[in-house]
């Protein structure tokens, strides 16, 4: 499911852990939904050319955001702090940021990227 290449309805969901929640496709869930906005659409909405600090903690959806949908907006980010939630997510984020010339460091449980 591609959550971030378009602007779908999403539904917040509780996990069995108190500090870990996630979203899923919210079609047909009524009042329990919210509208997602892609990073590109958000930049356009606020009429911004760049993002100074992109703080990203999207509970496992990093692969969806960084696999194919980031070439439009990632070059416009100056620095990013991201919590990745799997080894696969880390690899996808790291590859996308490396492709776009970011430097990288790990600080505690977050990944820090800057240009």
**20, HSE (Cβ side, Cα atoms, 13 Å):** 9
**What is the rounded distance in angstroms from the CA atom of residue 113 to the CA atom of residue 64?**
18
| pTM for the structure as a whole | 0.78
Other CB atoms within 10 A of residue 38 CB = 19
Q: How far apart are CA 71 and CA 97, in angstroms?
A: 10
pLDDT, tens only, 24-65: 665 555 566 777 788 998 999 999 999 999 999 887 789 889
Q: To the nearest 10°, report the CA torsion of 74, 33, 20, 68.
A: -30
Residue 81, SS3 per DSSP: strand
How far from 81 is each of 75, 93, 104, CA to CA, in Å? Answer: 15, 11, 10
Lowest mean pLDDT among 16-25, 61-70, 73-82: 16-25
């Amino acid at each position: 499911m591609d959550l971030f290449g378009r602007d779908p309805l999403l539904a917040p969901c509780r996990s069995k852990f108190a500090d870990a929640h996630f979203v899923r496709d919210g079609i047909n869930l009524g009042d329990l939904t919210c509208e997602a906005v892609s990073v590109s659409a958000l930049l356009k909405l606020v009429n911004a050319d760049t993002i100074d600090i992109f703080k990203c903690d999207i509970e496992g959806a990093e692969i969806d955001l960084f696999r194919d949908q980031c070439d439009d907006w990632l070059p416009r980010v100056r620095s990013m702090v991201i919590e990745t939630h799997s080894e696969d997510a880390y690899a996808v984020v790291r590859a996308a940021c490396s492709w776009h010339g970011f430097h990288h460091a790990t600080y505690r449980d977050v990944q820090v990227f800057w240009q």
